[in-house]
A and B are shown apart, each in its own frame.
Chain A
C-alpha cells in the first residue's frame, strides 16, 4: 500500500515537473521574471536562496526527452591528465581529458545533454567517485552569473550577447565572438568584450559581443543545445541591428580569436563588404576537434559538422577580395589546416605571422588587433619613421633579420613591430621581437623568414602598429635586399583536400618551417564499410586506384605517394580520414619501390596493414 502510494506520489511529482518545465509555462515565467516590475519577485527568490532554481527554470528549454546533466568527478587528482568517458547505457554522452579545476572548486562539467533523467543509467569509465545531477534547466556557476552581470550578457531567445557603445544611433557595427576557455573553467561561456576598447572609442559604434552559450563549452555557435542549427537565428539578430540603425555595409567589422575567429568567418558570410579580423581561427572544425579534449564531446555533435566549414567560406571570401586581417602562427597546423601559411596573392588579405603556440597569438598580437579595431572606429594616424640599419643572418634555409629603427616618439609598450611587404596582392607582416635595446627589432628563431613560402623580394618595410591605432611605416633602405641566394618563393598548392579527385592531385602541409607535398588520388569506394583505406605508395603512377576500389568494402579509397615526407604523412592520413567522416581508417603501405617493368601494379606487395586510428 505504502509502495503504491509512493509510486503515485512519484508519478504526480514527475507530471508536475513536466508541466512546470513545459515550454509555455517556462516562457511565461521568463517573460514575467524579466520584466522590470518583477524586481521584488526576483529579490524574494534571491532572499530565499531560490535564485539558482529560478535561473535554471527560466533557462533555455530542451526538447522533450532531453535533459541537462552536471558531472562532478571527486577524485580527479588520481586521474589528472587521463581521458574519461561518461556513458549512458552503452553510449558515450560526454568525455574529456582531466585537467585540474580552479583552486577551491570541484572538477565539474556542466550542461551535458542527455536523454534520461535517471542517474542510475549512467556510469564513468574511470574508477573515481562522482556525482551526476540531471534536470530540465541549464546549470551554471556563481562566477558565470557574476560574469554575465558584469558584462551585461543577456538572453534573447536562444541567442546571448551583450551590447556596448552607442546603441542609439551608431554608424558602425563591431561584432565579436568568443573563443574557448579552459575545460574546467567556472566561466564556460565568455564574451570577447575587448576591455581596452572604451566607451569613448565606441561613441559612434555599436558593439555586439556574442556569447557561445551552448553545450558544455560552446558549439562554434553552429548548433543550440538541442543540436539544431543556430545560424539563421544569429544572422537574424545581426541583420536586425543593421536594419534598425541603417548601418552601411562597409561599416561592419567581425572579430574573433580561435573558436571566435571561426564563428566570425561563419557570420561574415552575408556581409561581403564587412571587415573581417580573425586570429588563429579553425579552418576545419572537425579536424581541430579530433583531439582528446573534444573527441568525446563536441566532436560527436554530428549536426555541426554538416554545416559548411570555415575553410570553404574563407576561400570564397578570398575569391571575392574581401578585406581580411588574418593572424596566425606556423606552429598551429590544427587551426590553419595548411591554408593561411601557404596562400598568397589574395587581394584584400593581410597575413600577420606571429610565432608561438596557438594560445599565444591573440595575446602577442593584441596591440595590432586593437589598433585595427580603433582605426575602424575612426581613431589612429599613419606616420612615418626610418629604418636606419638592416642586418640579415642566413641560418640553413631561413633568414633572420635585425633592424635598427628610429624609435623617437614611438611608444615602447603596446606596440607590435613587423617586417612588412607583399606576397603578390596579399599583404604580409612578420612580427618582430623587441630587443632590450629599444631601437632594435629582430626575428627570434621562430620568426625567421622562410624563402620558400615568403616572398623575400616583396618585403620592403617595417611597420609599428600601436594599440591606439597609430601606425609608423618605414621603408627598408634602397640598398638593402633580403633576397638570399636568389631564393624564390615556391607556389605550393593551396587547393582544398578532396575526397573525389580526378587523378593525381597535390596537397601541401606545413608544420613549423617544413613543407611537405603529397601527390594523392582519392575516390569513393563501392563498399559501405565506414572506413577509408589509405594506400601509401612510392610512386602514384604505379598504383591503380580504380582496381583498388573494387578490392575493398571501404567507403573511400585514397592513394598517397610518399617517398620522402614521412614526417607529415601521419597528418596527411589524418586529414583524409577526418575529411571522409568515416569512423575508421586503414593504412596500407606498399613497399615495392621499383616494380619490374610490365608487372601488374596492384597492391600485392602490401606488407603492413594496420589501423592507426579508429573512432
Chain B
C-alpha cells in the first residue's frame, strides 16, 4: 500500500484549454505560497469518469482528493481552509459550504435548512474525499456513473452528518436543474440502497433522482430499471420529502409519487376549470406491442385517453406517460373546508387580475394585453400590473395610468392570493400560502414563438391557457396541451406597426450561447460567437455600403450579452441599439438574426427578415433544445451561413425585393391569427375560465 506523501490532490476539470487567468485557477495557485508541499494540482480536459477516478485513487499519491471544475467559483481562502482542516484530522470527507450562486462573504453564517440541502448539487465538486476510502468504496460502486459518487460514497460509509469546513464553493450556475442529467454507462442503478440516510442526505438523493428523471424526459432511455427506481423511492421514503422539489419539478414529483404508489397510476398535475390534468402512467407490454404490430392491430385501440407525452425506456420496461383530462366529478379532488378552490367563483368584473412581464422589463405581451384590457373592459377595476419600481418602464407605465404593484413585494403576494386570474408572458414558480399556478388560473402569453422543440418544458409547466401564434405553433403545442392551447397570436403583435416609409435602419438581433454565460472576457473574445459578430459589424464592404446608403446597422444584443457590449467594435454606422425590441423592429427596414424568435415580430408586420447562422451544428449541440423549425424549408426569410452571402443580400438590397416564397410561408406560419382580434380572443377565453 503506497504511503501518500501529499495531503491533497486537486484535480481541475476543464471544458477545453485551461484558462489560467480565471479567478478560480488563480485562487488555487495562490495556496502554493504557503502550502505547496502539501498539495498537487492536476488538470484534466473533460469530466473524469468513474474508471479514471478509480485509477487516480488506486495510485494513492495523496491522502485526499478534490475535484474542482474550472468554471466553478471558490472562496478566496478555499484551498487554504480545506488544507488547514485536513491537516489536523483524518476524515472520510471534508465538505465546504456549497452554493449554486454567489458565495457569501462568510459562508459559516449560512443556515443549513432542508431547502439548502435540497438545493445542493449532488456531484462531487469541491468536496475533499479520503482517497483510500474512496478507492474502497469504488471497489463496490464501480458500476455507478461518476455523478452518483458523492451520494453513493456517503451512503456507503453511512456519512449522515457533515460538519462543514468554513469556506465556500459554488457551481456558479445550475443548468442541470433545468435540463436534468443522464448518467454515463450501462449501470443498472443510480445509487446503492444502503441504510437509512439522514433527511439532509435523503434530500440530496431526492435531487439526484429528480434531475435524473428530468434528464430521462429528454433522453427517453436509460439502462436503470424501473424496479430500481421504485426501490430507491420506497427504500429511502423519498416521496415524503417532495415539498422541496415540487415547485421546480412538479412533473418529476408526479413520477416519484407513482413510483411510490404504482397502483395509483393517475396523478393529479394541474387544476383546470372543468377538469383536471392528470399524468397517467402505464407500463407497456412489449410482447403485446409486438403482437399488435405483427397482427396489424393498432395500439390506440386499447390506449387510455390522453396525449402521450413520453415513452420512457427504463431497463427492459417501457413506461408511457400520458397527459389526460379528468372531469371534475371524477377527478377525486377530495374537497375539504381547509382547502380553498381558486376556481370556485366565476371571473367577474369584481375579480382581481394580476398581469406581469419580467420584473425589470415590461414592454412585452402582458403589458400590451393589460393596456388593451383596461381600455376596453373598464368595468374591471381590480386589475394590477406587477413591475420592479427600479425598472425603466415603471415611470412610463405609471404615467399611462397602469395600476402598478412592486414585483415580489408583500402587496404583490397579497394581490396574487386574492386574484382570480394571473396573466403573464413569463412563467415563475409562484407559490404563496398554498396558492400556486397548479391550483389556480394562469394564462401564459409567452414571450415569443417557440421555434425550438420545448415540448418537455411545456409539459412540465402549469397553465390554463397557452397562447400560440399561428397554426404551426398551435399544432405543435396541442401535442402537449390540446385543451389549453389558444391560437390567437401574442398580444404585442396586434399593435405592432412598421414605421411608414424607409428608415435606413437595418437590425441585427443575435441571440446568446449557453456555454458563454460564465466565461472570462478573454474566452468570450476568443469564441466563435464574438468573432463572427465582430467580423460582421466590421466588414469593410458592409460599412462602405452603410456609408453610401446613409443607413445604419442597429445591433440589438440579447440581454444576457448586453453586459459585454463594450467588447464589440461599434462605430458610427454600426450602433449598439438601446431601443426596445418593439421600437427597434418597428423602425427597421430589414431584420436579421442567427436564431432569435424575435424576428417573427418583424415578419408579422411584413418587414423582410433573414437568418445568418454561422454555427448551425455547434449551436444546437450546445442548446438544451432542438430546433422545431427546418430553417431551409420553413424560415420566413432566406438563410445564410456565410458572411459574404449575407453581405450581398444587404448591399444588393435584395431584401427589398418581394419574395412570393416567403410570403407564402408567412401566410402559413401565421394561419389562424387575426391581427385585429388577438387581444379580444385572449380576453374572451380568459374570462371564461
A residues with CB within 8 A of B:
388-389, 391, 393, 400-402, 404, 433, 435-440, 442-444
Residues in B neighbouring A440, C-beta threshold 8 A:
340
Give the CA-CA distance A391 to B340 in the complex, in Å.
9
A442:B337 contact, CB within 8 angstroms: yes
B435:A402 contact, CB within 8 angstroms: no
For the complex of A and B, list the 8 residue pairs with the smallest distance between their C-beta atoms, beginning with the closest: A442-B337, A400-B337, A436-B433, A402-B337, A440-B340, A443-B337, A393-B337, A389-B345
Specify the chain B residue showing the minimal Cβ separation from A403. Answer: B337
A393:B434 contact, CB within 8 angstroms: no
Residues in A neighbouring B336, C-beta threshold 8 A:
393, 400
Partner of A389, one of B338, B344, B435: B344
Partner of A391, one of B341, B414, B418, B435: B341
Give the CA-CA distance A213 to B345 in the complex, in Å.
57
Give the CA-CA distance A599 to B341 in the complex, in Å.
63
Give the CA-CA distance A402 to B337 in the complex, in Å.
5
B residues with CB within 8 A of A:
335-338, 340-341, 344-345, 414, 417-418, 433-435
A438:B345 contact, CB within 8 angstroms: no
Partner of A444, one of B335, B338, B418: B338
Give the CA-CA distance A442 to B344 in the complex, in Å.
15
- A389-B344, A389-B345, A391-B344 known; A437 and B435 CB under 8 Å? yes
Q: A437-B435, A439-B418, A442-B337 are in contact. List 20 more A-B contacts (CB 8 A).
A: A388-B345, A389-B344, A389-B345, A391-B335, A391-B337, A393-B336, A400-B336, A402-B338, A402-B340, A404-B340, A404-B345, A436-B433, A437-B340, A437-B417, A437-B434, A438-B417, A439-B417, A440-B340, A442-B338, A443-B337
Specify the chain A residue showing the minimal Cβ separation from B336. Answer: A393
Interchain residue pairs with CB less than 8 A apart (9): A388-B345, A389-B345, A391-B335, A391-B344, A400-B336, A404-B345, A433-B338, A439-B418, A442-B338
Among the interface residues A389, A400, A437, A438, which one has the most CB atoms of the partner chain B within 10 A? Answer: A437
How many residue pairs link A and B with beta carbons under 8 A? The number is 38
How far does the Cβ of A433 sit from chain B's closest Cβ, in whole Å?
7
How far does the Cβ of A464 sit from chain B's closest Cβ, in whole Å?
18
Residues in B neighbouring A400, C-beta threshold 8 A:
336-337
Specify the chain A residue showing the minimal Cβ separation from B435. Answer: A437
How far does the Cβ of B435 sit from chain A's closest Cβ, in whole Å?
7
Residues in A neighbouring B435, C-beta threshold 8 A:
437
B433:A444 contact, CB within 8 angstroms: no
Give the CA-CA distance A404 to B418 in the complex, in Å.
10
How far does the Cβ of A395 sit from chain B's closest Cβ, in whole Å?
8
A437:B344 contact, CB within 8 angstroms: no
Give the CA-CA distance A153 to B345 in the complex, in Å.
56
How far does the Cβ of B105 sit from chain A's closest Cβ, in whole Å?
35
Residues in A neighbouring B414, C-beta threshold 8 A:
438
Give the CA-CA distance A586 to B21 in the complex, in Å.
95
Give the CA-CA distance A439 to B337 in the complex, in Å.
13
Residues in A neighbouring B337, C-beta threshold 8 A:
391, 393, 400-402, 442-444
Residues in A neighbouring B417, C-beta threshold 8 A:
437-439
Give the CA-CA distance A435 to B341 in the complex, in Å.
13
Give the CA-CA distance A439 to B341 in the complex, in Å.
13
How far does the Cβ of B271 sit from chain A's closest Cβ, in whole Å?
15
How far does the Cβ of A400 sit from chain B's closest Cβ, in whole Å?
4
Specify the chain A residue showing the minimal Cβ separation from B350. Answer: A388
Partner of B434, one of A391, A402, A436, A444: A436
Residues in B neighbouring A438, C-beta threshold 8 A:
414, 417
How far does the Cβ of B347 sit from chain A's closest Cβ, in whole Å?
13
How far does the Cβ of A389 sit from chain B's closest Cβ, in whole Å?
6
Residues in A neighbouring B418, C-beta threshold 8 A:
439
Give the CA-CA distance A611 to B397 in the complex, in Å.
84
Give the CA-CA distance A435 to B435 in the complex, in Å.
12
Residues in A neighbouring B433, C-beta threshold 8 A:
436-437
Residues in B neighbouring A401, C-beta threshold 8 A:
337
Give the CA-CA distance A389 to B417 in the complex, in Å.
15
Give the CA-CA distance A195 to B417 in the complex, in Å.
36
How far does the Cβ of B228 sit from chain A's closest Cβ, in whole Å?
38
Give the CA-CA distance A438 to B337 in the complex, in Å.
14
Specify the chain B residue showing the minimal Cβ separation from A402. Answer: B337
Give the CA-CA distance A401 to B337 in the complex, in Å.
6
Specify the chain B residue showing the minimal Cβ separation from A388. Answer: B345
Give the CA-CA distance A470 to B449 in the complex, in Å.
55
Specify the chain B residue showing the minimal Cβ separation from A443. Answer: B337
Residues in B neighbouring A439, C-beta threshold 8 A:
417-418
